[in-house]
Amino acid sequence: MKHDLVVKHSLALAALVMMVVATSQAGTISGKVSGVSGESAVYVEVAAGKTFPASTQQPVIDQKGLMFQPHITVVQQGTTVEFLNSDSVAHNVFWPSVGGNKKLTHNLGTWPKGDKRPFKFDNPGAVPLLCNVHPEMSGYVIVSPTPYFALTDKSGEYKIENVPDGSYTVTAWHEGAKSQSKPVAVAGDTKADFTLSK
């Protein structure tokens, strides 16, 4: 009788420990994007039944020296980006599509030095930034559907931290290359490499 109770207690404790472990485990996804040179964006796609914290980012994309700076900005879906003009000439910001969808084309307008305009990116995918005053200007906002994303370094290495354990689809994007998505099972520290081509 006494022994039975101890066993029951131990089982209950073990179950509790397992629950705590199961709900608190998070890992990193890291690896390398090769086949292309320079920075790529890597992000985790939405997974069924999972909810994510809202964006806390407040990114600024500057137009300086006739360039979008930074050239590539990765944000979580729902993030408001401030577009600043630091040049003495007026710049425009527009994009022909979002995630390849031309219906999501938008022109933010043209504004002078020191001014900035916000835009909230509610749709996921790559947003090619252009300026209709300077055809040579180009940049990108990559809108990640989850808070789990990274920009690789110039050699293609990346690390996405604090991803809850589970099964995901991870996408790698590179300017001018075909994006690649692959299933990744995150359990602690997980590796995912990509090889992209044009």
CB of 134 to Cu ion, least distance (A): 4
Alpha carbon distance, N-terminus to C-terminus of the chain: 70
Q: Which of 7, 133, 185, 187 binds Cu ion (CB under 5 A)?
A: 133
* Nearest residue to 130 (alpha-carbon basis) of 171, 74, 91: 91
CB of 173 to Cu ion, least distance (A): 24
Q: Which of 61, 81, 131, 172 binds Cu ion (CB under 5 A)?
A: 131
**Total chain residues near Cu ion (CB under 5 A):** 5
Chain length of the chain: 198
114: left (phi over 0), alpha (psi -120 to 50) or beta: left
Are β-strands 149-151 and 116-121 bridged in parallel, bridged antiparallel, or unpaired?
Answer: unpaired
- Residue 134 as a binder of Cu ion (CB under 5 A): the answer is yes
- Residue 130 as a binder of Cu ion (CB under 5 A): the answer is no
How far is it, in rounded angstroms, from Cα 105 to Cα 125?
13
- Residue 91 as a binder of Cu ion (CB under 5 A): the answer is yes
Stretch that binds Cu ion, among 69-77, 85-93, 105-113, 169-177 (CB under 5 A): 85-93
Stretch that binds Cu ion, among 11-19, 41-49, 95-103, 125-133 (CB under 5 A): 125-133
Q: Are 153 and 45 within 8 A, CB to CB?
A: no
- Residue 174 as a binder of Cu ion (CB under 5 A): the answer is no
CB of 60 to Cu ion, least distance (A): 16
Of 104 and 108, CB closest to Cu ion:
108
Under the rule (CB under 5 A), what is the footprint of Cu ion? 91, 131, 133-134, 137
